[in-house]
Amino acid sequence: MSSLSDINEIEDLRRLARQRVPRMFYEYADSGSWTESTYRANQREFGNILLRQRVAVNIGERRLATRMLGQDVAMPVAIAPTGLAGMQHADGEILAARAARDFGVPFTLSTVSICSIEDVAEATGGHPFWFQLYVMRDRAFVERLMDRARAAGCPALVLTLDLPVSAQRHKDLRNGLSAPPRLTPWNLLNMMGKPRWCLGMLGTRRRTFGNIIGHVRGVDDMSSLADWSSRQYDPTLDWDDVAWIRRRWPGKLVLKGIQDVEDARLACQSGADALIVSNHGGRQLDGAPASIRALPAIAQAVGERIEVHMDGGIRSGQDVLKAVALGARGVYIGRPMLYGLGAMGQAGVTRALEIIRKELDLTMAFCGHTDIRAVGTDILLPPHPPAS
């Protein structure tokens, strides 16, 4: 399977990415923490939600376009921030940002990206993208990151709240995935079996953490990064820090990692513009509920006060429709984008978006709706995840 005509579902892209991306980087993307129970539940629990088919409804004209954070989007989908996307494919963040720009959906750049804020801004012709922020102990560095994002024209800051400490991810430990990665004989041998990937990485200058190296005193190369990164995630992060960022950031503020109704209420009080119901793709607290299970209660509690988004487990347009029906204004895709990127670069990301759009459009039609903005729980059959 190597041509776009062979790619009909996200699973096709996943299988191809697994063939083409070195194991340590593929498994970094396609794994969860500890037993991976939450990682698996994110996807599995979408299958427990049943759709209500309607017939003899005029569905000749359909609309998927809507708005997220006041921005027009081709469908209620954004590209999630994903670390090390530039290790799935050379210049990965740039390619994904271009695909999102051309498709008409938002792209979110991670703090721990390979391509820098400035790289992506230049390569996309200044097209606005969103920036995801981790709060580090080095608050001066955090301030500089916000300033750089603002200078690049980023209209939204996505603040991740659920990584004050990093969970144990067994596959990463086995593969030696660290900062910088450990190039063991096994890893080098595995990379040699991925010639397409190797040629791409040889052809780019972007092989480090572009937002960090050269922007922190004493961190000028990959060898000096390990000590700095090991002590930077801040376990003291609290709502006072969120208030500080809200005062300092002039654009839209999104809080990522909300799983609890009380935290959702605190997010409203913080002055944020949106929240993302998220369990970090099952990569942090193993045993946390699937995002789609947590979504309805949060949407019911605060959906009229703040824009509610979600991520975790989206693998199809049907999943997008179910999330919208349960109260999400929009969703984020991380792994489908990474699968597309690892499989076929920019064309693969575009193909992932095309697949999701087609499935979303057809499923909405089968449910008797013609406008994504009017979709609600009426398209679902009970039982579905409870709203309280």
pLDDT in tens, 131-143: 999 999 999 999 9
**What letter does residue 282 receive in the DSSP assignment?**
G
- Residue 280 per-residue DSSP state: G
Average pLDDT along the chain: 94
147 belongs to a structural domain? yes
Using the predicted structure, report yes or no on whether residue 13 has a pLDDT greater than 70: yes
Q: What is the C-alpha to C-alpha distance for residues 252 and 71, in angstroms, rounded to an integer?
A: 11
180, pLDDT greater than 70: no
How do residues 23-48 score in pLDDT, each as one tens digit? Answer: 999 999 999 999 999 999 999 999 99
Closest alpha carbon to 292 in 387, 373, 379 = 387
DSSP 117: H
Query: Average of pLDDT values for 67-82?
Result: 98
d(CA 343, CA 28): 15
What is the DSSP-derived secondary structure letter of residue 281? Answer: G
pLDDT of residue 388: 45
Catalytic residues: 280
Residue 139 and residue 263: Cα distance in Å, rounded? 24
Mean pLDDT of 261-287: 97
Give a yes or no: residue 388 inside a domain.
no
Q: Percent of the chain at pLDDT above 70? A: 95
Backbone angles phi, psi at 5, to 5 degrees: -65, -20
- The pTM (predicted TM-score) of the whole model is 0.94
Alpha helices in the chain (DSSP H): 10-20, 23-29, 37-44, 92-103, 117-123, 139-151, 170-175, 185-192, 195-202, 225-230, 239-248, 261-269, 291-302, 317-325, 335-366
Average pLDDT of the residues in 283-303: 97
CB 366, CB 360: distance < 8 Å: no
Q: Choose the most confident range, by mean pLDDT, from 229-238, 302-311, 376-385.
A: 302-311
The predicted structure's pLDDT at residue 291: 98
Give residue for tokens 């799983």: 259
Give the residue numbers of the binding site: 28, 81-83, 110, 132, 134, 160, 169, 256, 278, 280, 283, 311-315, 334-335
How confident is the model over 186-220, as pLDDT tens digits? 888 899 999 999 999 999 999 999 999 889 887 77
Would 36 be classed as within a structural domain?
A: yes
Q: Is the pLDDT of residue 8 over 70?
A: yes
Residue 386 lies in a domain: no
Residue 58's contacts (CB-CB under 8 Å, 6 or more residues apart) are: 370
Domain residues for 257? 4-381
Neighbours of 215 (CB within 10 A): 16
Binding residues for glyoxylate: 28, 132, 134, 169, 280, 283
Whichever domain contains 290, its CATH number is 3.20.20.70
Query: How far is Cα 132 from Cα 112, in angstroms, rounded to an integer?
Result: 9
Distance of alpha carbon 182 from alpha carbon 179, whole angstroms: 8
Residues 286, 33: Cα–Cα separation, whole Å: 6
Q: Does any domain span residue 387?
A: no
* pLDDT tens readout for residues 359-383: 999 999 999 999 999 999 999 998 7
Give the Å distances, CA to CA, from 220 to 109, 139, 208, 225.
21, 19, 10, 8
> How many separate domains does the chain show?
1
Q: Looking at residues 127-153, what average pLDDT do you find? A: 96
Question: Contact at 8 Å (CB) between 322 and 292?
Answer: yes
Binding residues for FMN: 81-83, 110, 160, 256, 278, 311-315, 334-335
pLDDT (average), residues 318-345: 98
Are residues 350 and 103 in contact, defined by beta-carbon separation less than 8 angstroms? yes
